[in-house]
Structure 1
Amino acid sequence: MATEEMRRIFYTTLASIPPGRYCSYGDIAKLCGVHVRQVLAWLRTLPRESDLPWYRLITGQRRIADYPGNERQYRRLAEEGLVPEADGRFPVHYRWPDA
């Protein structure tokens, strides 16, 4: 499959994550048939003005990755009602697709 077609599949899948839900980087990679490193590369190249819900992707440990500026991701998820539990993990029942 051509790289551009795979990227379109990724964008479509990312856009499919419903508001108030989250997906792990690994799960979206499996759904798209690519390695998680490819997902991370595509995320790094998303245009700043993109309306794709990049912020709904978190780690397999149900946490937001530690990176500069991650407070923006916490804020965007909180606006959708997603707040981490006391241990810093997001509730499993909000994972998409359902575990």
Structure 2
Amino acid sequence: MASDVHRRIFDVVARIPAGRVATYGQVARLAGLGGQARLVGYALHMADRPLPWHRVINARGEISSRGDSFSETLQYRLLAAEGLVFDEQGRIPLDRFRWDGEEAPAGPAGEGS
């Protein structure tokens, strides 16, 4: 069972639309936990429901190292499949792809884009 703090984090992560990313610190701030970026990573590791965890990256626009190349490769592939691009240093340009924290706009079928 997730704690209230974890549920707040999960609720923010669940709102990140496809084709956008948020940083760990941004998720913490939106969950009312400013300065608790590491807590976001711990919570995602313990998630008790499906989440778009792959859309959370570090403040440099990079996929954070986990010591598990499978998860890092999977995250890269999931983000690339959503149309995100990586520069020569393996970073996602945050000025282009960072989610603004607003709800995703409704698509033609009433789904978030």
- In which range does the TM-score fall when normalised by the shorter chain? 0.7 to 0.9
Counterpart amino acid of residue 97 in structure 1 = D
Please list every run of 5 or more consecutive structure 2 residues that lacks an aligned counterpart in the other structure. 102-113
TM-score by length of 2: 0.74
In the alignment, which residue of structure 2 is the partner of 1:87? 89
- Structure 2 Cα separation of the partners of residues 52 and 85 of structure 1: 26
Identity %: 36
Computing the radius of gyration over CA atoms, which structure comes out larger, 1 or 2? 2
TM-score by length of 1: 0.84
Shift of 1:77: 0.5
Counterpart amino acid of residue 94 in structure 1 = F
Moved more, 88-97 or 3-12: 3-12
Query: Deviations along 1:67-89, whole A, 9 cap, x unmatched?
Result: 21200100110110112112221
Please list every run of 5 or more consecutive structure 1 residues that lacks an aligned counterpart in the other structure. none
In the alignment, which residue of structure 2 is the partner of 1:43? 44
Report how many aligned residue pairs link the two structures. 94
The answer as to whether partners of 2:10 and 2:44 remain within 8 angstroms in 1 is: no
